[in-house]
Amino acid sequence: MSETTEKKVVPAAECTTMAEVRAAIDGLDTLIVSLLAERMRYIEAAGRIKADRGAVRDDVRKAEVIAHAVKVADARGFPPKLAYRLYDMLVEGSIAHEFDVFDAR
């Protein structure tokens, strides 16, 4: 879409229709999934770089990643408990993917 035909994203506080809300959420979801895909490229790099399969699961690092996400969530007005649950699932999925990458080498 060109700039002249793109739908303008309305700030959440100014939305008056569900179409505006949904358009903004769809755009944000595209950005979120794009960032998650980029994050996964780094997980794949870790699976390529680590010399020992035992290093793939690092529970200390997992706790650090989740704590960081919860801290950022709290500072940005996102529910910290939800951030914790999302990041726990994201990190576990990332570890599983990293094992796949490591084992495929």
pLDDT tens for each residue of 47-100 = 999 999 999 999 999 999 999 999 999 999 999 999 999 999 999 999 999 999
Is residue 75 domain-resident?
yes
Give residue 98's domain range. Answer: 12-104
Q: Is the pLDDT of residue 2 over 60?
A: no
CA gap 22, 102 in Å, rounded: 39
Ranges of H-type helices in 1-105: 18-49, 59-75, 80-104
Among candidate residues 1, 39, 46, the one with its CA nearest the CA of residue 23: 1
Is residue 64 domain-resident?
yes
Count of domains observed in the chain: 1
Q: Which pTM does this prediction carry?
A: 0.88
CA gap 82, 63 in Å, rounded: 15
Is residue 36 domain-resident?
yes
| CATH for 97 | 1.20.59.10
Is residue 67 domain-resident?
yes
Q: Packing angle between helix 59-75 and helix 80-104, nearest 10 degrees?
A: 140
Is residue 6 domain-resident?
no
Is residue 39 domain-resident?
yes
